[in-house]
Amino acid sequence: MTIRTRFAPSPTGYLHIGGVRTALFCWLFARAQGGKFILRIDDTDAQRNVREALRPILGGLRWLGITWDEGPDVDGPFGPYYQSRRTELHQAAVEELLARGCAYRDFATPEEIQAEREAAVAAKRDYVYSRRWMAESPENVARFEAEGRRSVVRLKMPRTGTLVIDDLIRGKVEFEWAREQDHVIQRADGSCLYHLASAVDDYAMEISHVIRAEEHLSNTPRQVFIIQSLGYPLPRHAHLPFVAEPGSKTKLSKRKLDKYLKNRDFADLVDRGRRIAEAIGLDASPEQFNPVIVDFYRQIGFLPRAIVNYLALLGWSLDDRTEHFDVNELVEHFSLDRVNKAPASLDTKKLEAFQARHMQKLSVAEKAAMVIPFLQEAGLIAAPAPADVEERVEAVLRAAGERIRIAGDVLELAEFFTPDDQLPYDPQALDKRLRRPAGAAEALRGFRAKLAAAETFEADALERLLNDFLADEGLAIGDVIHALRVAVTGKAVGLGMFETLAILGKPSALARIDRALAQV
């Protein structure tokens, strides 16, 4: 049997972290088994589908390296890969279910269905549709239509017995048929619902393994009934644990950003992301700029390999000690029998730790290639970047070390790329370090003269120069270095002082000191 898995998102919004994790597991299983991974767009709900939301879904998967063997923009023998273009196949299945007596036309109004539900609640019994408005003969259809009623098509579900599913993650799962409703599979306007379309398309596309989130477990009985009623072979099912909220066992949601911001690590990442977004002119609205959405991480400069590594461990593990994998290692080791049944919480602090680990493995040149687009978007350097600017970027990255954990962090070091006459000064830092302390301006002016006379402007030589100046003047290092930092960077904190001076160079450092002194 050829292993064929599928990920079938609906274009109703930006790609959710939980959805990405599902896609990743489908992809890893297919790759590990030498099979095929199919991307299908389940766009049967025309009212909820957002056409423009498809672009970030496709782009997000590609950015993560989750490529598909068949699907949108990729030719394949089982297309089209949009459910909305497969309506003839779905309609044929509806007609077959009706002909076999496994479905029926129902002419009940929503109000009549609701009245039956309320009666069941009042009687403290489980609701089961009475099928009072069921029409299985042409005569009954004609009678109801004469009353001006419109019909939907419902499954005629069994009322006795038990369905047993051998789930590859959850093991033996049982469903009592009597608890299943006669689910609608075709609306009055003729459009088919997800449950029918998904079962029919899975069969038509020869999907061997349906790997999906556990919230779809409740859909399984109706879909199995459709599959068996149409005489299709049953695919293997594997229901993944959902991704939970930070520090919780409740399912993660795109709509609960305010709640998640109470988690300090989550809030810190959001604040950091919004600073980056503001600097490069991105829309930072909660609908688009939210760590629950995968595009958030792309926009602020995470490495896709770090996201993939972290997401793979949300519900799966190789053992109790190995955490860091590259993609090839994940493909080599992945199996469904190592997937946990319990939900795993989104932990942004741990995700950042994975990001930092993968960033450490990059060369300075590779990091520079990541951060330069952010500097260009912020208008701090030209595009394309001149060779001397690239050299400065690499020098800044070497001095910053592990402080640059995501590519957008480089924007916190904008002082290295700002023209000297446009450098902004933190008013509080300027006042505290240069204006108010007695003698600070005079000490800085004295050291400025030493800098002007320096024959070499390398970090080690500059450190010796300052130490000699302090000894000659009888000053402590704090009498000069804080004022010096504010003068050349505009801020109270930053990279190593002598590395900063060396990167800026003598003309820039002197010009900035002069400008700061002029303000006090």
- Residues serving a catalytic function are 254
- The contacts of residue 484 (CB under 8 Å, 6+ apart) are 444, 447, 497, 513
Please classify residue 331 by burial: count the beta carbons closer than 10 Å to its beta carbon, then call 0-12 exposed, 13-18 middle and 19+ buried: middle
| Crossing angle of the two packed helices 17-32 and 304-312, in degrees rounded to 10 | 80
Determine the straight-line distance between the first and last CA of the chain, rounded to whole angstroms. Answer: 79
Distances, alpha carbon 434 to alpha carbons 341, 481, 506, in Å = 60, 10, 20
Hey, which residues does 67 pair with through a beta bridge? none
Nearest to 213 by CA among 257, 176, 266, 167: 167
List phi, psi (to 5°) of 518: -65, -25
Residue 183 host element (H or E): none
How far apart (Å, rounded) are the C-alpha atoms in residues 15 and 219? 22
> Which two tokens mark 404?
């640059």
- The contacts of residue 97 (CB under 8 Å, 6+ apart) are 103, 153, 155, 185, 226, 229, 230
Nearest to 455 by CA among 441, 470, 465: 465
The angle at the Cα of 432, spanning 486 to 518, to the nearest 5 degrees, equals: 55
How far apart (Å, rounded) are the C-alpha atoms in residues 500 and 489? 8
Please classify residue 86 by burial: count the beta carbons closer than 10 Å to its beta carbon, then call 0-12 exposed, 13-18 middle and 19+ buried: buried
Residue 7 host element (H or E): strand 4-7
Q: How far is CA 465 from the centre of its chain?
A: 49
Is the N-terminal amide bond of 384 cis, ω within 30° of 0? yes
